[in-house]
Chains A and B, each alone.
Chain A
Amino acid sequence: MSVKSYRAAIREALEHEMQRDPDVVLIGQDLAGGAGGGGEDDAWGGPMAVTKGLVGKFGRERVLDTPVSEAASIGAAVGAAAAGLRPVAELMFCDFIGVCCDQILNQAAKYRYTFGGQDQVPLTIRTTIGAGQQLGSQHSQALYPLFSYFPGLKVVVPATAYDAKGLLATAIRDNDPVIFCEHRLLYRLREDVPDESYTIPFGEARIVEEGGDVTVVALSRMVHVAAEAVRALREDGIDCDLIDPRTTTPLDTDTIFDSVEATGRLVIVDEAGPRCGTASDIAAIVAEEMFNALRAPIRRVTPPYAPVPAAPELERSYVPDASRIIAAVRSVMER
């Protein structure tokens, strides 16, 4: 056990899985960096410095830097997975999925199904999500609901370094395509993480706090923002269950149902948008299955139905904060 950043935990999982299985290869832009140049190799170690050092350990045969060609490189990763490798492809910003949608949403997601179950696609796509760096409308989105729309894909949204490491190992060993969504604002988050390899099963939510008055479900970075709100509410005598589903596909509805059964009140906090998003999805499932247990309307705390603006003041008002979560929890307590 030692203190590690979210970034280092992810790197460690990659390293362990590459050691464990020679068929694990990494594919992406500047995973090493420095190809063709006159300077240092591994000059970047990934656009977010997550893969730093791996090319030194595993060589360029297994750490493959690509041209700026997501359609071809993600497509090649799908093909390689179907042909028996276990690729981990990196999509630098989830926003760039636009140029390789077909490869992910049609090819990877439906390969097995379309061909009658003859093949499997053990592919992991690591991508980054989230606002908060003033990068504007096309570098700040949290598009995981898009991935969850598509049956055939599994979707992971780790909120902590511990979860990131264990869930990435699971993703790589999983025999289906997994989209692993790293929140860029979490890379520096540090906590105790085991040094050895471990896995965390998909579809098992983490109960972050137990309270009993209100169920708060939050995803990715919003888990931390919700935790702040939950602490403040506790001082005022409102005790919340805080649940982090950790994977949106599969979704651990049982844990959410159990909590809502006891509290009768549900607030969902999501950095993805209010329409067709994960919060809406969970709200619909709970409304359908748990209607009789509910004592108040379900509240969703999400950004507004708007693109992400670049200016910091506008961006701050876009991303849900603790005060909005507190207000939502109070509003369901009034009923």
Chain B
Amino acid sequence: MTELSTPYAPSREGLRGAYRTMRRIRCFEERLHAEFAAGRVPSSVHLYAGQEASAAAICAHLGAQDYLHNTHRAHGPAIARGADLIAITKEIYLRAGGLCQGKGGSPHLHDARLRLIGANGGVGSGAALACGSALAIRHRQENGVAVALLGDGACNQGVVSESFNLASVWKLPVVFAIENNGYAEATATSYAIAGDNLAARGPAFGMPSTRVDGADYFAVHEAAGVAIECARSGGGPSLVEIMAPRFYGHYEGDAQKYRAPGEVAELRRTRDCLTRLRQRMIDEYQFSTAEIDAMDAEIGVDIDRAFAEAAAAPPPDPALLMRDIYADRSGL
């Protein structure tokens, strides 16, 4: 496996941004968890808590010219990419003013202006679509990259292997960022992933590949940076497998009996990217607790506002049912 590493030497500002993103995601998901339990969330939601470092570190490297293809565990990456928190919340609540006008919902958060591409009904399709984004970027000489977020489970789709190969054959500026959270639904990776090592699939397709600890923001930042830089400078695709715990169920309402007793508590204690980052900011970068608490408070206010606005928003305009089926209705 190719070694990918350049040490990450963050600025205080960089760390502040990373922390804010991760904290915002965590806060959002915890609030959504409570709202769901109270029966106030329509439809089904998959929470990203535990995996925040992945989206935050990847998005720290992305600019306006880059594409991010999301998974169904969509809220975290959408927040990290900078999508409007209120519009995200309204979309999850299936209300007017949602990112997709209430027609998509939680898994399909999409913001074309940000080149944030919503997830697919069939997991894994984003790998192929990202190849297409990368092709367009290269065609237009935009100096951009396309990042495909993929779950471990999604990697068992044929289209993902095909996309690995296609990206390599065409030397596309793509990064396949696999978020390995240990499970696809109720099935553990140790059962479903032959070889139990997704990073090992990269070299088989001629791609540089690495596996990083998703609880370590610094490590993900480094690995993602190398892969994205490689793609941006014409070096072709790479693969990054990010080992990140899932703190909640597959979706809300999942009783999670397939997990060992105490497993989640242990993961929260030992593999929480947010508490680790916070500690490191205090220990190594002279952040004060008060400074961090102030960020937390600010974020809390934003989250409250987003949920309040979503709850108060009207349903979508009934005419939307028949709108946007085609871009051009002539002849229909």
Contacts and interface: CB of A to CB of B under 8 A. Distances in A.
Co-assembled chains A and B: yes
A102 B104 CA distance: 27
Contacts of B261: 39
B185 A44 contact: yes
B214 interface: no
A137 B320 CA distance: 14
Contacts of A237: none
Interface stretch (A92-100, A119-127, A196-204): A92-100
B321 A317 contact: yes
B325 A134 contact: no
A232 interface: no
Interface residues of B, number: 48
Given A37-B188, A304-B322, A99 B105 contact: no
Contacts of B104: 136-137, 310
Interface string B36-53: 000000111000000000
A33 interface: yes
| Chain A, interface SS category | loop
A305 B322 CA distance: 8
| Chain B, interface SS category | loop
Interface stretch (A67-75, A143-151, A279-287): A67-75
In the complex, which of the residues A44, A305, A309 has the most CB atoms of chain B within 10 Å of its own CB atom? A309
B139 interface: no
Contacts of B183: 37
Interface residues of A, number: 45
B325 A306 contact: yes
Contact of A34 (B156, B186, B189): B186
A147 to B, nearest CB: 18
Given A33-B185, A37-B188, A99-B122, A311 B103 contact: yes
Contacts of A93: 121
A138 B123 CA distance: 11
B193 interface: yes
Nearest to B185: A30
Given A44-B185, A309-B102, A311-B105, 5 more contacts: A34-B186, A38-B260, A137-B104, A313-B316, A314-B103
17 contacts: A37-B191, A38-B259, A67-B153, A68-B124, A69-B156, A70-B157, A133-B44, A136-B43, A304-B321, A306-B325, A309-B320, A309-B321, A310-B102, A313-B315, A313-B316, A313-B318, A314-B321
